[in-house]
Amino acid sequence: MAVINFITQEGEKISVEGTSGSIMELATSVGIAGLDGDCGGVCSCATCHVYVNETYRKIVGEAEKIEKEMLEFDELAKENSRLSCQIEISEKLDGIELIVARE
Ligand code: FES
């Protein structure tokens, strides 16, 4: 089990407990604003875009090539961007803060 903290563009912090699946699936299951997961998690929409806080960047790890390519098309991409459909929930992510890129 891990507590995943989402920070919306409105500045609201929403903490959700997850055990398995992707961060995007967890976010859409509770209706986090700005995190839609339109493509269902196949890395082709970037509507699950999040920014990973510095403390957790190493733990989350680097994006795969296909994810990096998708992010290149997103004008909101930053150095700490990840597509949350590509991040699997695990206990090592407990307490992570993810800023939702879109409103
Ligand atoms: S849900 Fe579409 S890229 Fe993540």
Q: Grade residue 28 by pLDDT with cuts at 50, 70 and 90.
A: very high
Q: How many angstroms separate the alpha carbon of residue 78 from the centre of ligand 1?
A: 17
pLDDT band at 97 (very low <50, low <70, confident <90, very high): very high
Q: How far is the CA of 36 from the centre of ligand 1 (A)?
A: 8
Q: Distance between CA atoms of 103 and 100, rounded to whole angstroms?
A: 8
Q: What is the CATH number of the domain that holds 75?
A: 3.10.20.30
Instruction: Give residue-wise pLDDT tens across range 66-77.
Output: 999 999 999 999
Q: What is the pLDDT of residue 72?
A: 95
Selection from 92, 100, 99, 103 nearest residue 3 by Cα = 92
* DSSP structural state of residue 74: -
Ligand 1 interacting residues, C-beta cut-off 6 A: 24, 37-39, 41, 43-48, 83, 85
Q: First CA to last CA across the chain, in angstroms?
A: 27
Polymer length in residues for the chain: 103
> Domains in the chain: how many in total?
1
**What integer pLDDT is reported at residue 71 of this predicted model?**
97
Note the pTM of the prediction, 2 decimals.
Answer: 0.96
Range of the domain at 74: 2-100
